[in-house]
Homo-oligomer: A and B are copies of this chain.
Amino acid sequence: MKKIIRLIIGSGESCADIRYASGISTPDSFIFYVYDEIRCAIMSPLEIDRARANAKPGVTVAAESEYNGPRRVEILSAIAKRCHCRDFLVPGDFPLALAEKMRHAGLTVAVAEDSFFPEREFKASAEVQFITAAQRAAEAGLARAVDILKKSSIDGEYLAYNGKVLTSEFLRAEIDCEILRNGMLPTGTICAGGSQGAQPHNAGSGPLKAHAPVVMDIFPRSPESGYWGDLTRTVVRGRASAVVRRAYEAVLEAREYCKSLIRPGAFGAEIHCAAEGILEGHGFFTGSNDAGQFGFFHGLGHGVGMEIHENPRLSPRARTALRGGEVVTVEPGLYYPEWGGIRLEDLVWLSGSGEAVCLTTAPDFLEI
């Protein structure tokens, strides 16, 4: 095999591969390359001390000035010279402008077909612990929300808390504060009530109604480890309607059954389709009309690690089998604009020995 320099440029905060490989988390992007036994991060003066403190064993941290920096293309030419190799392999999202400058400087740039670090799919026990810690913060945030909902009074159509109308914004801020106090970072918490809950990505806004489902999807990240948790529960403060109760039971059954299918050799598509079957068996069909999509129209689950959405997928197109080591969400949902949404999401680790371990401890209930 021809030798090639594997190159990533990214910030530790937003590029999971560079953080996974280097151990370094930064707000600004930096250069990381792998060649033979060399794994080297090249840092700006502002970041070098912190990078040295955090780098994984075996990773060399060098200053831009040692590589003709700070201009990127000059640093990359210096790397080529040191390695006696002008050929680079980069991820698909590598910036086009820099690739063109590199080619202009006489370097070759090839795009990797596959993931740079496919081993990210298979978690070591330390990684499972990091994910579990983030999951506990999500659960603390959920518990805070449930407490507020319990203490809310039903004031006609809407909920009130401490004498004020309870809003999605207030509930989200309180969940997020609880996550912060647990040492994790909240990111995009969803608190979507009533018909807003029928849009799976709607974060929720405005007053929350009594007797209507509130979808709470909570996915905090650990600032230290970079790993995420992911948790969704849907509750009703007051009395759920008959259709909401039926939808809840169907989604819960689908989630529990699909969790039982997680084992080595199972295909993501097969598990996804099992959820579809159960939901349809309960009379909940999927389709679209002028008001948009309805039913169950997203993937059943996804891997969680240093990215909130990563491989493997539990979706209709997921044609690879689970092997052991994966951490995946199982999150069936039903969405109908007439009454809103129900989504129930657990996190499951398929251990190396082939056992499916649920990492979520939050209880399940609909009405509070």
A176 in contact with B180 (CB, 8 Å): yes
A34 contacts the other chain (CB 8 A) = no
Partner of A201, one of B47, B172, B223: B47
A100 contacts the other chain (CB 8 A) = yes
A99 contacts the other chain (CB 8 A) = yes
Most B CB contacts (10 A, CB to CB) among A49, A188, A293 go to A49
> In the complex, A297 Cα to B46 Cα: how many Å?
8
> In the complex, A91 Cα to B50 Cα: how many Å?
31
Within 8 A of B (CB), among A22-66: 26-27, 45-50
Whole-angstrom distance from the CB of A94 to the nearest CB of chain B? 4
Within 8 A of B (CB), among A196-248: 199-203, 223
Whole-angstrom distance from the CB of A217 to the nearest CB of chain B? 11
**CB-CB nearest in chain B for A47:** B201
A1 contacts the other chain (CB 8 A) = no
> In the complex, A99 Cα to B297 Cα: how many Å?
30
What is the oligomeric copy number?
2
A111 contacts the other chain (CB 8 A) = yes
B177 in contact with A180 (CB, 8 Å): yes
**CB-CB nearest in chain B for A26:** B201
A177 in contact with B181 (CB, 8 Å): yes
A126 contacts the other chain (CB 8 A) = no
Chain B residues contacting A14 (CB-CB under 8 Å) are 14
Partner of A93, one of B45, B50, B96, B199: B96
Chain B residues contacting A180 (CB-CB under 8 Å) are 172-173, 176-177, 180, 186
Chain B residues contacting A223 (CB-CB under 8 Å) are 203
A252 contacts the other chain (CB 8 A) = no
Known A45-B292, A94-B96, A180-B180; further 10 A-B contacts with Cβ < 8 A: A26-B201, A27-B188, A27-B201, A49-B292, A50-B202, A92-B98, A95-B95, A97-B111, A173-B177, A176-B180
